[in-house]
Structure 1
């Protein structure tokens, strides 16, 4: 059995077929247990997360009912009673949760010095995403921190993947994707830097410089900050057409990678 949290909450059986988890509160219970990554969650915490300020008349019985429903959907051995509450039995080493598989692929990618292989592994990791993490529970407080943490991890991996693709000569196809991501995340300097490099390698130096100017304006207006030293050094390297900006070229590229 596998669990998907990188998008709407999904469960698949061993043959890859979807497993139906009925009823909104039962799905919320599963999401809450998945957020805690196999660690026990107290019954009080689960009750508060599922019902908030409007708990049922007998909260403990209501929770037990939802646990029983979840066990029927997943198997009795998956939802374990463990003081002070319950935990979902998952095997991180087996990558039963897509977020674990995502992290495994990223870790593997970071061990290789081959840019093309690294880009391929990071692409596989990013392809696991079917939408925002815990997408169907986006308004629930109990998933907010985990969803934000995963979203930040995805953005960091997206930047790594873009850098690896750039290093392997894939700047032409990369540009369109980067433009969309920079529009969504205009303050991320590392993302902006790889876009600037890709534009420069495509012979679009003026657009690379314009991208830097946009970054500087956004940072000043929204945070009262200047661009950091790495992206600033990259800007200067583009201005002087540093040969080190070309993969395999002589000299240094002024950082920003």
Structure 2
């Protein structure tokens, strides 16, 4: 069975066919169990997550009814009664939940032999995402922390993938994805550093300098901070056209950028 939480909640059987989980409270129960990754969840916590302050007349019986409906959809052996509540039985292979497969691919990328292989594995990991994590229930308290953690991990992986593509000499990331990411996360210094390097290597030095200036202004206005020493050092290296910013010898043939334009003197 396959469970999807990197987007709207989905369930598929071993053949890839959708498994219907009817009724919002039953789907919420499944989401609450998935958040805990096969660990037991107390009945009190499940009741609070499903009903909050709007409790039914007999909360324990109401929860048992939802558990019965979920067992009917998934199979009785999938939802296990275990003190102090219930747990979702997951396969020990660790690949039934797309979030687990995502993290496994990211781990494999960390052991990759080169930037191109690392970028391919990270791309495969990111392709598992179908939308915001736990999209159906992202505003619910019982999934909020897990959804935020996965969202942060997704962004970090997108930064790592951009770095791997840059290291491999693939500057096509500039055509859309990187600019879009910076626009949506303008204060992420790691992301901005990749953009500055990619712009510079593409011969677009003035755009790299403008991007740095924009970040410096945002940091000062919104947080009262200066760019990190690392980013400031990168800015200085771009200004002096440091040879160390050139593509590494491992970059594929033909990946060398045009000669960077010199900044115009005022």
TM-score, with length taken from structure 2: 0.91
What is the CA-CA distance between 1:19 and the residue it aligns to?
0.9
Q: 2:197·2:208 contact (CA, 8 Å) conserved in 1? A: yes
Partner of 2:180: 180
Q: Aligned with 2:80: secondary structure?
A: strand
Cα displacement string for residues 64-100 of structure 1 (whole angstroms, at most 9, x for unaligned residues): 0000000011111111100000001113533110000
1:68 equivalent in structure 2: 68
Map of 2:214 onto structure 1: 214
| Paired residues for 1:60-139 under 5 Å | 60-91=60-91, 93-139=93-139
Gaps of 5+ in 2: 250-266
| 2:77 is aligned with 1:46 | no
Q: 1:175·1:195 contact (CA, 8 Å) conserved in 2?
A: no
- 2:165–2:173 Cα contact (<8 Å) kept: no
For these two proteins, the number of residue pairs brought into alignment is 249
Report Cα offsets for 1:82-137 as digits up to 9, x if no partner.
00000011135331100000000000000023110000000000000100100111
Does residue 1:160 correspond to 2:160, yes or no?
Answer: yes
Alignment partners' CA distance in 1, 2:53 and 2:145: 20
Could you state the TM-score of these two structures normalised by the residue count of structure 1? 0.94
* Alignment check: 8 A CA contact 1:43 1:85 kept: yes
Q: Which residues of structure 1 form unaligned runs of 5+?
A: 250-257
1:18-57 per-residue CA deviation (whole Å, 9 max, x = no partner) reads 1110000000000000111111000011001000001100
How far apart in 1 are the matches of 2:91 and 2:184? 35
Q: Is the 8 A contact 1:29 1:50 kept in 2?
A: yes
Q: Is the 8 A contact 1:200 1:238 kept in 2?
A: yes
Check whether the contact 1:175–1:198 (CA below 8 A) recurs between aligned residues.
Answer: no
State whether structure 2 residue 84 is matched by structure 1 residue 58.
Answer: no
Aligned residue for 1:77, secondary structure, equals: helix
- 5 Å-filtered alignment, 1:23-42, equals 23-42=23-42
Structure 1 ranges of 4+ moved more than 2 A: 91-94, 172-175
Which deviates further from its counterpart, 174-183 or 106-115?
Answer: 174-183
- Partner SS, residue 176 of structure 2: helix
Contact kept in structure 1, 2:167 and 2:248, CA below 8 Å: no
Task: Give the distance between the partners of 2:35 and 2:87, measured in 1 at CA.
Answer: 10
Q: Partners in 1 of 2:73 and 2:232 — Cα distance? A: 54
How many Å separate the matches in 1 of 2:195 and 2:113? 22
Q: Is the 8 A contact 1:172 1:202 kept in 2?
A: no
Q: If you compute each CA radius of gyration, which structure gives the higher value, 1 or 2?
A: 2
Distance 1:92 1:175 in 2: 41
Q: Does the CA contact (< 8 Å) of 1:30 and 1:70 recur in 2?
A: yes
In structure 2, C-alpha distance between the alignment counterparts of 1:217 and 1:5, rounded to whole Å: 37
| 1:228 is aligned to 2:236 | no
1:6 corresponds in structure 2 to 6
Question: Which stretch of structure 1 is more off in the superposition, 54-63 or 222-231?
Answer: 222-231
Is 2:41–2:86's contact at 8 Å kept on the other side of the alignment?
yes
